[in-house]
Amino acid sequence: MKRLFMVLLGILTFTYSWSQPNTTTPHEQNEQAVRSLDGYRWKMKMMLPGEGVKHGLHKIPPEDIETLVWNNAKVPGDVYTDLWKAGIIEDPYFGRNSVKAQWVQQYEWWYAHQFNVTEAIEDQVVDILFEGVDYSCEVWLNGHYLGKHEGAFSSFRFNVNEYLRIHKYDFLKARNMLVIKLAPPPQVNASVAGKKTPWFGDYWRDLIPFGISRSVKMIRTGSVRFKDVYANNKINKDGTADVSLEMSVENTSNKTKKMSFVTSLQGKNFESKEIKIAFDEDVKPGVHKITKTIHLKKPQLWWPWDLGKPNLYEAKITLKEKESNHDFNAITFGIREVTSKWNPGFKKDVDVSFPRSTYINGKFHFIRSACWGGPPDIFVGRTSLDEYKELIRLAKEANMNNIRIFGWHPPEIPEFYQYCDEMGITVWQDMIPLGTGNIPTERAQLTEIFDEAVKVIKERRNHPSLIMMEGGEEMLLRTRDPQFGRAFLEELGDSLQAYANLPYVPDSPLTCHVSKAAGYKSKEAVHALRYFYDMGKWLHEDWYQTLKFPIVPEFAITSVPSVESLKKFIPEDELWTPGLSWGHHWADLTRLRMQNWDVFGSEMKGSLEEFVNASQDAQGIIFQNGIEYFRRQKPELSGIALCHFITYWPDMKWGIVDNYQQPKRSFDFVKKAYQPTLISLNFHKRRWSNNENFKGELWVINDLYEDYKKTSATLKIKDDNGNVLQEKEFTFGNVEGNSAKKFVDVNADVLSKVNEKFYVELELKDQKGNIISKNDYFFLIGNQEEASKEFKVWMKKRMDLENKYGLYGSYYHFFEDFTGENGGKYESDAQTPKAFGFPENK
């Protein structure tokens, strides 16, 4: 094969080199010839729908410089970010600017990129690959129509051999023009369910993201090339492993070719001896599956970080015809086996329909998770790989061993899974976003959804971090036909499991009335959200103690970002007392006040800082208390996912890390509650009388497979001023690995010396006095029953107001100037409406 061409980019004489695969030493300085078309090399232009083609934008001469005056654009990216950076729209994240940008989604957007090709391409196949476009596009090269694609998650490619303009010396004759028309995004989610991320929900406003969301590449191969390589591995009973390299190979010529496959396998993040295998195959025209199995006597398994080392292998494959390299592929994978078992305490086909305990390489993997809440930005042009890496690092710092990608958010980019692989974080994923009640019923459209899901799993199945597949997220909550919804989700599972041997459950939570009508059981799973949505019905500890399920896919509490972060997206005159932008960014101001009162006995409204910090502490304390309650149910309960870990725009909602990658104060409470080995206090109420003894139980939950011998525990109870009222040491003895056990009862007669609050501190030590786990709590002096009654009265007032002004999601009812309540009147933009229930800003 000839040496690849050098490339001149744009009008500049800047030179880029494409690497020529080496023909004598496979894998040494060998790579698939890929030219990235990413970066700020693109231009964009707005047109009315249908007008771009009429005006001939797709036929702009490649030599022309007309597109130089179009707006600058970046790939990967999105339309809104390009427009914001060009000064055309105001930052959609700031204040209520997003409503001012709704016109953007009514237009088609044209993207153009000029590049030069200077060397010949005989005996080569050249494609332009689009890794992802959200949502619908058409593509031209040098005025030639390449094709159309719909679907935000699947890649697509076009062969461009006959359309490329090539000249070694004349830069005008070497100039190429790639043009992409982005259609206006779809306006009804149900019509594109599973193929585009839902753009609604209680954390976003009606601004539909779209753009060239992933990389664009020009790829050169020989006539025989790889379409896919999958390392399908199996662990044998004798401890050996078989790695079956399943290679999908395409012969684009019209002749059978005798091809040599030169393969190497070696540890990527650990030392191992390189295994080399070479074999020949006759490859007929078309696409074929070729499998080669490599036997490993002593495989290094991939584990979650708390169960072992996340060992990764790299396989490299060169595809040759005699001495000519046609293609090259390198994949990273891990050897691990994922199975599921039935949760003890729940009867199969009576309480539950599915096993919900996950085992990695035969070990129980108790899932300490949070719903991802990503991507890091709903406008992908605003994020970076560094942010991904930092966020996953933070998840591990918070003692999480899993991240859940649920059905309101998209499957993630490859680097997300790469970082999870490397850090030993498992991934529980709705493979495609089906966070909606309804889907198309026509068979052709359903087939498109299944095809999109298959493409998603095939791109991600080499990642050992991916351990659990789910079909829908709250899909059956709103579907009009339960039996149709169930049949669809089960067929989706069959489609996915044909390509990846992983556990699959069809939906979450599967305990709503529609799910029950579809035949699912009463104890499948629980979305622990009712405390928030039914705020006032229970004090939080009274609520979570009503829950007993095998798994908790969502546990949700809200909070406000830090004051520093608030100032980045809330106008100064709306910061305090809260103005309209708080509501626009999904601050439920009544529930935040109620949540603070539940935890602290006060709404904590003395200042902006006090209110913000209290909301984060309240979120953290409720998370901590709930997490510990659920973890004490191990092994009957097998996993918890908080809702959420991050947030994909600056909001006042679920995340414990805000949109600026800043952990909230609640992050530390979660980190504490998710300690792999945790000393825990079981208590039944947070408000105690001065006249009663404080009572509880000391437990230890150990998710590690490590026994601790001759342990001891220390308990301290302190008053409002930090004075120690009681300190006591207990001998616990042995703490077994993979266990949850009560060790001792606590009964302390000290509350008569407390005014408003008291504190409990715990330590667990090993036989050498080393601290294994530390924990702490605070409690209130008060009357639990009276507080519960007061909370219920507040709930009725909240519900009356919400019912009067519409469904949850309308924030106008917080602002009496808008609603006209109590003499309020909105007359001019000179006014700055302030939320009721807060002190006036002085």
Q: What string of DSSP letters covers 140-182?
A: EETTEEEEEEE-SS--EEEE-TTT----SS-TTTTEEEEEEEE
CB distance 403 to 372 below 8 Å: yes
Token pair, residue 534, equals 């039914």
pLDDT of residue 12: 31
d(CA 376, CA 383): 6
How does DSSP classify residue 257? E
Cβ atoms of 520 and 353 closer than 8 Å:
yes
8 A C-beta contact, residue 284 and residue 256: yes
Answer for the pair 52, 181: CB distance below 8 angstroms, yes or no.
yes
Beta-carbon contacts of 618 under 8 Å, excluding residues fewer than 6 positions away, are: 557, 559, 595, 596, 598, 599, 600
- Diameter over CA atoms, the chain: 94
Burial of 668 (0-12, 13-18, 19+ CB in 10 A): middle
The tokens describing 311, both together, are 């060992």
Instruction: Yes or no: say if 114 and 62 are a contact pair by the CB < 8 Å rule.
Output: yes
Beta-carbon neighbour count of residue 384 at 10 Å? 10
The phi, psi pair for 571, rounded to 5°, reads: -55, 150
The pair of structure tokens assigned to 266 is 């070696």
The predicted structure's pLDDT at residue 326 = 95
Q: How far apart are CA 165 and CA 110, in angstroms?
A: 21
Instruction: Indicate the SS3 state at residue 122.
Output: coil
Closest listed residue to residue 153, CA positions, set 331, 411, 407: 411
Q: How many other C-beta atoms are found inside a 10 Å radius of the C-beta of residue 577?
A: 21
Could you tell me where the DSSP H helices lie in 461-606? Answer: 482-497, 513-517, 530-533, 540-544, 563-569, 580-584, 589-600
With tokens 């993040």, the residue in question is: 269
Report yes or no: 195 and 448 within 8 Å, Cβ to Cβ: yes
Rg from Cα positions in the chain: 29
φ and ψ at 790, to 5 degrees?
-65, -40
Query: How confident is the model over 422-463, as pLDDT tens digits?
Result: 999 999 999 999 987 788 889 999 999 999 999 999 999 999
Lay out the sheet containing 39-47: strands in order across.
Answer: 71-75, 39-47, 108-116, 175-182, 136-141, 144-150
| SS3 label, residue 193 | strand
User: How many C-beta neighbours within 10 Å does residue 396 have?
Assistant: 17
Is 13 in contact with 200 (CB distance < 8 Å)? Answer: no
Angle between helices 385-397 and 414-423 (to 10 degrees): 30
E-assigned strand segments in 252-345: 257-267, 275-283, 286-296, 313-321, 324-333, 338-341
Determine the Cα–Cα distance for residues 185 and 79; give it in Å rounded to an integer: 11
Q: Is the peptide bond before 186 cis (omega within 30 degrees of 0)?
A: no
Among the listed residues 547, 517, 524, 554, the one whose alpha carbon sits nearest the alpha carbon of residue 346:
524
Among 146, 28, 207, 343, residue whose Cα is nearest residue 649: 207
The pLDDT tens digits for 142-158 are 999 999 999 999 999 99
Distances (CA, A) of 598 to 543, 546, 610, 702: 12, 17, 16, 30
- Spatial strand order of the sheet with 286-296 comes to 224-235, 241-251, 286-296
CA 738 – CA 648 distance, rounded (Å)? 35
∠ CA 137-140-146, nearest 5°, is: 80
Given the DSSP bridges, would you call strands 426-430 and 402-405 parallel, antiparallel or unpaired?
parallel
CB 436 within 8 A of CB 712: no
Ranges in the chain, pLDDT < 70: 1-32, 807, 841-842
- Residues in CB range of 233: below 8 A, 6 or more apart: 241, 242, 243, 244, 333, 335, 336
Residues counted in the chain: 842
Q: Which amino acid is at 443?
A: R
Token pair listed for 150: 């719909």
What are the tokens at 743?
């060790």
Alpha carbons 581 and 575: distance in angstroms, whole number: 9
pLDDT value at residue 32: 54
